[in-house]
Amino acid sequence: MNDARRPGTLSIWAGEERSRIEGATQVPVVHSVAHGYDDLDHWRDVSLGDAEGHVYARYTNPTVDAFEEKIRVLEGGEAASAFASGMAAIHTTLFALLAPGERVVSIKDTYGGTSRIFMNHLPKFGVDCVLCDTADHDQIEARIDEGLDLLYLESPTNPTCKVLDIERLAARAAAKGATVVVDNTFATPINQRPLTLGADLVIHSATKYLGGHADALGGALVGDAELVRTVTDFREINGAALYPEAAYMLLRGMKTLQIRIERQNASALKIARWLRDHPKVARVFYPGLEDDPGHEIAVRQSPGGFGGMLSFELHGDFEAVKRFAPALKLAHRAANLGAVETIVAPPRTGSHVELTAEERAALGIPEGLVRYSTGIEDVEDLILDLDAALAQVPDRFVATT
């Protein structure tokens, strides 16, 4: 089950050995909604899961199968399931595994959609959701010790790249018999493999780094076979299936996963170090910096690298961001991340737009924060571009803050 080949090899070959048609070297996109059987006994066996095959595209599809197999092998799990989006994966997982009267412990800094499920939706069904201060391990452990059914983590977090000790918290939750779920979208299996750190399930927004080209929505769940089966049963009826065309685009993107992530890791580290010394920048959030609060944990739990996501605070608050961001030539200003192109998104206009300044402050998000998703451009050009855009931030902003 666990494939000993290395991630760069697996990114290319895993999941691709099956489903060849007439010698095609690439996985076919199977658009058929149904698969027909002349032999009714065979049809029945496939329907019951006693024989291999496909029946109806809301359940399984050959192209989607290949995507599931590739991410399953990369994360090193027993089973995988694909979804129409990252949120479809997260929603389906939480609603399939939780029941009224149960309790979730998570953090305040989860992805915005996830945090809305915890705050607005699960409570309607009698699920108690406890959201802890993100980097406060002692507080999270104290809430775990009170009892829980599911621990839900993300690391590094959005947008301030905080690092949680997955191994430490997973062990604590396992001692209470809880299921441990980790959203690994930011790190990818190239940098960090939560299943090796004690997680039962790993979730991805494949829309981001896995696909890598900002042109297909998708989600994935990988881990314990029985848990994945339970979630997949719910997906088969809630209809959150991944579209075959999107599965193909994600598969194609994933072939370059390792080389993209290696490049983004290296460029982000170089940029974080450069920004740290820039007079217009008040603070850089990146676990690869030696003095970052998450550095020590990240070195241990993310052997592949520190990731392509970083954020930094400009002197002069949102006024500075308004001068800086539009001046960048090598960045999309958009609510996205993890693509080959560099993307900037100030939380003030993107991920945390609906919050008040006070609420953002309570989450440790400064008004002058810029989230930077490092692309695969030449890093020297990215630094020149950052330098030119930072020159648009008036010097007096530095003096007044």
Ligand X SMILES: *Cc1c(COP(=O)(O)O)cnc(C)c1O
Per rule CB under 6 A, is residue 183 in the interface with ligand X? yes
Least separation in angstroms between CB 373 and ligand X: 10
Q: Which of 58, 176, 255, 276 is catalytic?
A: 58
Which residue's CB is nearer to ligand X, number 161 or number 382?
161
Q: What are the φ/ψ torsions at residue 159 (nearest 5 degrees)?
A: -105, 0
Q: Which stretch binds ligand X (CB under 6 A): 73-81, 181-189, 267-275, 392-400?
A: 181-189
Among 77, 156, 212, 219, binds ligand X (CB under 6 A): 219
Among positions 14, 122, 151, 217, the unique one binding ligand X when judged by CB under 6 A? 217
Q: Among 185, 191, 265, 301, which residue sits at the site for ligand X (rule: CB under 6 A)?
A: 185
Question: Pick from 60, 191, 205, 302: which binds ligand X (CB under 6 A)?
Answer: 205
Helices (H), 256-371: 257-276, 295-301, 317-324, 357-362
Interface region with ligand X, contact rule CB under 6 A, candidates 27-35, 55-63, 81-89, 91-99: 81-89
37 is catalytic: no
For residue 241, the 8-state DSSP code is P
Q: State the minimum distance, in angstroms, from the CB of residue 251 to ligand X.
A: 16
81 binding ligand X? (CB under 6 A): no
Helix (H) or strand (E) holding 371: strand 369-373
Spatial CA neighbour of 206 closest among 107, 38, 348, 339: 339
Handedness of CA 380, 385, 386, 392 (dihedral sign): positive
Give the residue with the Cβ less far from ligand X, 46 or 217: 217
**Nearest to ligand X of 154, 313 (CB atom):** 154
Reference 379, options 346, 345, 342, 343; nearest CA is: 342
- Comparing CB distances to ligand X, the nearer of 188 and 232 is 188
Binder of ligand X out of 11, 60, 61, 85 (CB under 6 A): 85
Using CB under 6 A as the binding rule, whether residue 153 contacts ligand X is answered as no
Quote the least distance from Cβ 35 to ligand X, whole Å: 27
Q: Among this protein's residues, is 108 annotated catalytic?
A: no
Tabulate helix, strand, coil % of the chain (nearest 5): 40, 15, 45
Phi, psi of 156, rounded to the nearest 5 degrees = -70, 160
The angle subtended at Cα 18 by Cα 229 and Cα 227, nearest 5°, is 10
Across the beta sheet with 281-285, what order do the strands follow? 281-285, 309-314, 369-373, 343-345, 332-333
Stretch that binds ligand X, among 79-87, 93-101, 264-272, 365-373 (CB under 6 A): 79-87
Residue numbers 107-136 binding ligand X by CB under 6 A: 111, 113
The answer to whether 254 contacts ligand X (rule: CB under 6 A) is no
Per annotation, catalytic residue among 65, 149, 165, 183: 183
Residue 373 host element (H or E)? strand 369-373
CA distances from 73 to 4, 171, 205, 222, 278 (A): 10, 23, 17, 9, 41
**Segment interacting with ligand X, rule: CB under 6 A, options 166-174, 201-209, 238-246, 250-258:** 201-209
Contact with ligand X (CB under 6 A) among 11, 155, 192, 207? 207
Closest by Cα among 181, 172, 171, 227 to 202 = 181
Q: Least Å distance between CB 187 and ligand X?
A: 10
- Number of Cβ within 10 Å of residue 62's Cβ equals 20
Give the Cα separation of 39 and 87 in Å (integer).
39
Among candidates 334, 302, 280, 277, which has minimal Cα distance to 161? 302
Measured from the CB atom, the residue of 321 and 337 that comes closer to ligand X is 337
Candidates 50-58, 205-213, 242-250, 375-383; binding stretch for ligand X (CB under 6 A): 205-213
Helix (H, G, I), strand (E, B) or coil at 380: helix
Shortest-Cβ-distance residue relative to ligand X: 86
Q: Are 67 and 212 in contact (CB under 8 A)?
A: no
To ligand X, the closest distance from the beta carbon of 159 in angstroms equals: 10
Interface with ligand X (CB under 6 A), residue total 15
Return residues touching ligand X (CB under 6 A). Answer: 85-87, 111, 113, 154, 158, 183, 185-186, 205, 207-208, 217, 219
Catalytic residues: 58, 111, 183, 208
